[in-house]
Chain A
């Protein structure tokens, strides 16, 4: 259990210090969509509900800081969500 804390710290460090320096080039699917001319079909999200679209935090003008904050927040949200989900499943009654 204690050792997993080290992995979590590593994850937070990656989110805070590596993700702001990630390549901003389109990924594989985006690249193919651009080359084959259907990328415009995917430019409008169905709902604009995400609080941190494209891993940016509104109100932080520094791009790298904004990505770092979004990354740390996302890492913690994912931790809580996956933890809660796994805990819920592990508590299911035997049928």
Chain B
């Protein structure tokens, strides 16, 4: 759901960029506090993995595809602050090197995918895990995609690109389907990594 150049007006681009910058500044301070030098390789490799996984679009419904965002995955591994740094790195590389997501929409894309995603995922996971860890991982991934779709819809509407009442239902509907893929991949990846690093990571 990377927003390209041209979908957002100046006001929306400025507001979302300012919000993303403030959130990233806070995340970096928390990463400094919570994660140490020894976590650097893990953060780097997770970003590389999410970049690669985001390239693999899977089909959903007729003539539409979706791909992993990785917000819940990164948040489960590193907490929301580390996750927002990892996902921002992915979005910045995609925007600068691959023209995936507009440079004028980078702030909005970071806000939707790298800031809102991990924090919402973290909240949902914390809330649901008392019943089932697997269900919590799946739901946190699904909800993070829906929230991204809602924010994207709001930004498009705020920009006057398309009215909110026209865009919100189709955006949520298609991302409800994409979110199922997000949930399945996130569950598989989390199970693999946890098994793999048993005893090595907290």
Chain A interfacial positions (CB closer than 8 Å to B): 1, 3-8, 10-12, 14-15, 18-19, 22-29, 31-33, 35-36, 38, 41-55, 67, 70-71, 73-83, 85-87, 89-92
Cα A89 to Cα B29 with chains together (Å): 8
* 6 residue pairs, one from A and one from B, having the closest CB atoms: A83-B44, A82-B47, A42-B4, A82-B89, A23-B65, A79-B48
B40 to chain A, nearest CB (A): 5
Do B32 and A8 touch across chains, with their CB atoms under 8 A apart?
A: no
Partner of B37, one of A6, A32, A90: A90
Partner of B41, one of A41, A83, A91: A83
Cα A3 to Cα B42 with chains together (Å): 9
Chain B interfacial positions (CB closer than 8 Å to A): 1-7, 28-29, 31-32, 35-37, 39-53, 55-60, 63-67, 85-86, 89-90, 92-100, 102-104, 149, 152, 156, 161-162, 166-167, 170-171, 174-175, 178, 193, 196-197, 200
Partner of B7, one of A5, A23, A42, A89: A42
Cα A20 to Cα B131 with chains together (Å): 39
B62 to chain A, nearest CB (A): 9
What are 14 A-B contacts defined by CB distance under 8 Å?
A3-B200, A8-B45, A11-B53, A25-B59, A27-B57, A29-B171, A38-B7, A38-B161, A74-B51, A74-B94, A81-B92, A86-B85, A90-B39, A92-B29
Do B52 and A12 touch across chains, with their CB atoms under 8 A apart?
A: yes
Q: Chain A interface secondary structure, helix, strand, loop or mixed?
A: helix
A23-B58, A79-B48, A90-B32 known; A28 and B66 CB under 8 Å? yes
Most buried by A among B37, B42, B44, B171: B44
- B39 neighbours in A (Cβ, 8 Å): 86, 90
Do A90 and B6 touch across chains, with their CB atoms under 8 A apart?
A: no
Cα A35 to Cα B193 with chains together (Å): 39
- B100 neighbours in A (Cβ, 8 Å): 54-55
Chain B residue with minimal CB distance to A87?
B40
